[in-house]
Structure 1
Amino acid sequence: MKTIEHMILLLIWSTIDTSCAKLDVLVTINGSANLKCPSQSSSASTNWFVPGSVPPISKDRTLYTNDNRISITGNFRNGEYNLRISNFKTSDVGIYKCTVSIKNVAYQHEFNLLIGKPPTNLKIENFENQSTVQRKEGEELSLQCTVKSGQPKEILLFEKNGDMVKESNTSTVNLTIILSHTDHQSRYTCKAISPALDVSLSQSVTVMVLYAPQVNLGKVGESLMIKEGNNLTVNCIAEGNPEPYNYTWTKMCETTRLISTLPAFIMNGILRKDAGLYSCVVTNKIGSGKADTNVVVMYSPRVDIIYTNYTEITKQRYLVCKVKGVPEEYTFYQWEHKSYYGDHIRFMSGNQNGSLTLPTDTIRDSGYQDNGYYKCTASNGISDTNGRVKQSAEVYLVVEGKPVFVSDNVDEVYGTYLGPISLVVNIFSIPKYTKLEVLDGRSQPITFGSNSRLIEENTSVMDRFLGTEIKVIGYKITVKIERLTNDNIDTYTFKAKNGFGQSVHMIAVLSAGTPEPPLNVTVAPVANGARVEWTTNFNGGFKQHFFVEYREQGNKGWKKVKTLPTTFNNRMFWTIGNLHEDRSYSFRMFSRNKIGDSNTTEEFDLKIFKKKNEATVYGVVGSVSLVSMLVIVCLIYLIKKRTNKQGKTKKKSVMKDYSQAYKLEERVYDEIDVTQMTGSVFTKTEQNEGNDNKDGIQPIQTENSDENTVLSHENLHDKNSYEQF
């Protein structure tokens, strides 16, 4: 029978999975042991085996032993069947096994029950528990911890503030520390860890480290950047044992200078001179600590220009823009070249380092045009006290050279017989000319006396520098002849010379006279009038005015109109309006200056045809097509029809004919009828001189409230002209 049982047991054991590890369980004499068999399923079958017995002592909750110290516990519904041994004896020591069978597969778990002996008598040599030890920073502290070992062997270790720093498998552990200020108030604990202990054995020592102050400047760091004018506050933070009691702020310069004895360093409105290395020193009984910060004061750059004056033949000419600010990262903008009077001449791109090299001009005579102010502009991103980010400096560069007759000089002047005349030349000269000569047509020097004199003046003159018309410092030379005679009709040569060379300018004196009659005169019909066009001729040396004379055929008297013409494509035109329909008229022209009148042109005959629709056109561009003209005529007719109602009560001016100051050809003139000029509107341009009408003949003016009439002809006039609408 026993043989059969053994065979069955061997068959069972052959199906058991024995891969589980053995678990040591410490039990004290007369104590209890609770062995928990891991459950796989509520449907599993659990068997417990004890040392010295081959058959199981239980199956599930059923016990096969009479030992009342053994019981089965657990949640049986969940398949938990744990073994409990009470009043543990020495004979109970051994291997306990449980098997869990699930679908003919058994899982085995082993428990090695041992009688445990906890370690005892743990201590840190020479120190009482919870004691405090005081040492200076840098000193050595040695701690030795011992324990009476138990069963199983305990682990002995040191912890610092809860973190393990040393471990030993023996009954002694040693720890040696070179103390630092970071060890201040640290707690060193020796622990013995054993499964025979419910709570580990331990003893602690607290270390108090005496150390010199540890100093920092908070968020400032080793370098501090601040804009000039702002307020600066730096807090000196110190930590030491014992507490610090003395603060000292110093600035490192040529000599160490005491700044403050307070923990906080405050400076209102910091200046660039305040930049430098600042140190905070804090002391206590143990020693002193120090923290430094380099205060960098940021400010907008100061701009200076380094240059040398040159001569016009110097090949290399340059200016250097020297900039000093913080930070030393600069952006350079274009240089500006200006005249002495501030007129802009040009912008120039410099080099990346701020220097400017003037271009070398192949024309020697234009080198003097580099004279003037040169402005350098730079920025480092920091604004000045006025909020300006860009800073500038300018210098006046002098380029010495020979005298130059500037661009506004003339080649001809006109004078009247026995009248005064002035020959004027303008000179730019650096340095000033040392010799000035005026020669006649035979290259002989002019002898000045009662009839002529030479006038020299310091003044501003106009010249063209590098394509720009500007005002520059110069000299005005005037040869004034009181009474012009035939001997004075000549070509005069002006010579100006200095140490760099000589320049020459020639002026021809011509006798002024009456103007030449207009050229290429044409007369064309327009609605209720005639359009006269012409080309200007020589003005006789003075400003001229143009007159149109007309009369109805069969009449002897001429009506004269002083024109205020519009110029287009070098042609001038004027419109005579309010002429009678189905009548023929004759037209001719002449011009006048202050000397007198020109001859008249040939006469031109024109018949005014009757038109179904009344319309008058003034100042229409001659080159427009017929279709465009008809559109404009219709538009003006509609506008005129509306405005004529408003203009009936308005005052009209009548042109007057004054006598000439000179003896003119006798002609018969009639006053112009006001009704013949109705609808003419004259607008003077801004460039026309208001006192040029020396004859006293005024254009007829009528008020017109329609702005569209003006807009249709704008920009057609040129200098010294009027617009007719």
Structure 2
Amino acid sequence: MSAVLKCQVDLNSKASWNGPDGNSGLVGYADGPDINPSLYNKGKLKIVGNIRHGEYNMEIRNVSEREDGLYTCYQINNQKMTVRETFVTLTVQYSPVIEINKTLSEHIIKFTCNPSGEPNHYSFDNWQHHSEFHEFIRSIKGSDDGTLTILRSNYNEIFNGNDGIYTCKASNGIADANGKLYQSGSIIFQNTVLPIFVNSNKAIEFGFYGRMIDLTVLVYNKFGSMQTDISKQNDTLNVQAKQENSSMNDLFQGVKVTVSGIKITFQLSLDTEDDFTSYYIKACNQKGCRPDPPEDVYVIPFITGIVVFWSQGFNGGFPQRFLLEYKTDTSIFWYTEVLMNDSFQLQEHYAINNLTPNTQYQVKIFSLNRVGRSKTTYSFFINTTDYELKCTNVYSYCVEILAILAGVMVMCLIISCIFCCIKRSKHCVVETSQEVRYDEIGTINFSNVPVDPTIHVSQENDIDNNDILSTSDSESSGERTFTGQTGDAYENPYQSIHNEGMEIHLYSSIISNNYENTIIFPDNPAKKLQKYFNITMNDIRNPWLIIYKKKQ
């Protein structure tokens, strides 16, 4: 497109043109018919018109916005001694050039489209969102003034689905050199957030017993170097991770796109059955880490409320908060309780009131920090009770009930320990040294020992049949002189034995073949032993060994 700046001059006048230099300054364009050779656009300029008819016009070919501005035509008439100026404003209409600015806040991203053209009245088309590999993701309608506002985070959960290339389209009604009315400008946006495990990761890997396996995960990371670790059953494994750049697939706004990320490989040995289990991989970058989910969660129900107890996990290096969500078992909507700041107690708690009695609820909890949110705990199913107790004060009802339950458990534990100790003391074996006395009983004449046939084994006082060992000199049990009644599946039920005809010796040396007819007790005074022989066998304490000799 060309423009002709017109200037009417008098005859016998000397004329010249001045104009913008393209940088907000003024410069001489022409002196008479000659063009200034130092101009940046000298090739586009030409003096046209018939000077004899007073036409001193300047043509500018291929006009651009740099030629836009105020031009002055000077003429000096030496005969008339006059100077005259003619001012011409060149307004260049051109399609806009677009620049995009972005503004970030905690929860939103704002893109502003700034077109620059003439005229300066613009219309805007929908914004276009593409991946870093120019794959189309979505079309977004912005505001009439050319701004686009999108959600950056929700409860401090930062999305990577907003990353990519954003394009603004605007028009002022002037087509460009190619005839296009709408001009476009683009900006690349990448969130500086913690690493994100992409959607294309495999949830299950298969390995062989006794072999090595390369456990691989794909991570989207756009902010500095990255550190990773892997744990199994809450125990961190000492395994070095291998990192390499890779392209991978992920879902951005529900669209499968290609992104650049990092492939992390852990080499594990599958030596035991315990190695075939779930593994937890954690990745952090310069932004920080997400917090770990709450631990040791349990819920206590009441008639119209519940109290949730938990212990804090690792906060990711930043202060953390907690969020409780709950719903009835039949509802599809989760109710969210207020955020709570970390009180740095060993155990946190929170009461939820105004619930429906005798109703099943699901409860879950997660933690937040400035980087993001933790994984959500498993949903806990709990029934509100149908007895009259309202948990309005955690430190009154709840703590008192917990204290009572703990006290009952402690008392049960103490009683169980006492009972076990008493029972063991009755059956304990006393080890004695060589200095222990032994009481020897001489030959027992079984013909002189009365046997009470009326005493049955069921009348015995906690005497185990294993406490008495009967032996004979290579004789069968059927030939033993000491026999009693048979019954109740016992070969020889226990009978009463009196101490008539027994000789008591406080101490005797025992040599080979002298063990016959001997009963061995722990060290006791003779008078105590005599007392035991004056009562029936039911009351005698368990001896170590009784040896009987067949009657000669």
Higher relative strand content: 1
Structure exhibiting the larger radius of gyration computed from Cα positions: 1
Q: TM-score scaled by structure 1?
A: 0.34
**TM-score, structure 2 as length reference:** 0.43
The structure showing larger relative contact order (alpha-carbon pairs under 8 Å, at least 6 residues apart) is 2
